[in-house]
């Protein structure tokens, strides 16, 4: 008996893609630095440090202020950071403009959704739950969900499997070179947002599509799904 193909799947990065988390992430980082007697990092500079998980954010923050701590010190600061960030997970963080409308439009066209992030899974779930978005996603996978994290393709492929999707009918949405590398290594087309947390213009990294507002996402997803399958799989 012929099995129907899985529904199209859109896999989102979280920080800088779905949700503008920079205010809470950076406030937590700077609170930690100040308690350690270290000068806070300016917001615009620290914003570029986001994307590799909390440990890398701390390491980049320390390096920016001329501090080089050993692994034991980083472990201690990381544990303090995670607890402090969890307490203020969505104080200032909000979905980017147009996210809800884009999800509604894609859902109406038959798409399903998942999250693949380098944020800890429990923090990702807590954030999305606090924003009323968690129920939208078939899978929410973080840096500790699998044995690997982005840009290892198994992070994305594992997320697709957890959501019941098919890589051939999947599009990734991200904001960084890490997301683009992950998608490329997984054989999945990628849409990049140009308002996220990256040090270089996102178009220079070669995503399949670049959008400047979520109003553009449904058409971008439809075009990529139509051009990466043997027959059209989606119509907006």
Bridge partners of 209, per DSSP, are 191
Q: What is the pLDDT of residue 227?
A: 65
Rounded to two decimals, what is the model's pTM? 0.91
Q: Where are the domains of the chain?
A: 9-20+93-227, 22-87
CA 90/CA 19 separation, integer angstroms: 10
Above pLDDT 70, what percent of the chain?
Answer: 94
pLDDT in tens, 176-235: 999 999 999 999 999 999 999 988 999 999 999 999 999 999 999 999 998 654 433 333
SS3 category, 114? strand
Tell me, which fold does domain 9-20+93-227 have in CATH?
Rossmann fold (3.40.50)
User: Nearest 5 degrees, angle CA 24-CA 77-CA 23?
Assistant: 10
| Count of other CB atoms within 10 angstroms of residue 91 | 11
| Count of other CB atoms within 10 angstroms of residue 138 | 17
- Which residue is it, tokens 């990049």? 192
Q: What is the pLDDT of residue 212?
A: 98
Higher pLDDT, 144 or 4: 144
Q: Which of 191, 167, 188 is nearest to 102 (CA)?
A: 191
Catalytic residue annotation? 13
Q: Top-level CATH class of 22-87?
A: mainly alpha
């Amino acid at each position: 008996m012929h099995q129907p193909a899985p529904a199209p799947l859109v896999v989102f990065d979280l920080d800088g893609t779905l949700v503008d988390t920079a205010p809470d992430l950076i406030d937590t980082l700077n609170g930690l630095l100040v308690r350690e007697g270290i000068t806070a990092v300016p917001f615009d500079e620290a914003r570029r440090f986001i994307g590799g998980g909390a440990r890398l954010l701390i390491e980049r923050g320390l390096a920016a202020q001329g501090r080089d701590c050993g692994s034991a010190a980083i472990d201690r600061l990381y544990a303090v950071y995670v607890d402090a960030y969890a307490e203020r997970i969505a104080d200032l963080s909000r979905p980017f403009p147009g996210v809800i409308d884009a999800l509604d439009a894609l859902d109406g066209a038959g798409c399903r959704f998942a999250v693949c992030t380098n944020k800890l899974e429990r923090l990702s779930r807590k954030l999305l739950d606090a924003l009323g978005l968690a129920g939208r996603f078939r899978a929410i996978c973080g840096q500790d969900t699998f044995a690997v994290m982005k840009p290892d393709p198994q992070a994305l492929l594992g997320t697709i499997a957890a959501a019941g999707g098919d890589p051939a009918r999947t599009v990734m949405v991200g904001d960084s070179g890490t997301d683009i590398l992950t998608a490329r290594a997984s054989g999945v087309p990628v849409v990049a947002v140009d308002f996220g947390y990256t040090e270089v213009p996102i178009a220079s990294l070669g995503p399949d599509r670049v959008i400047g507002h979520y109003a553009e996402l449904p058409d971008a997803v439809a075009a990529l799904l139509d051009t990466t399958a043997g027959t059209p799989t989606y119509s907006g």
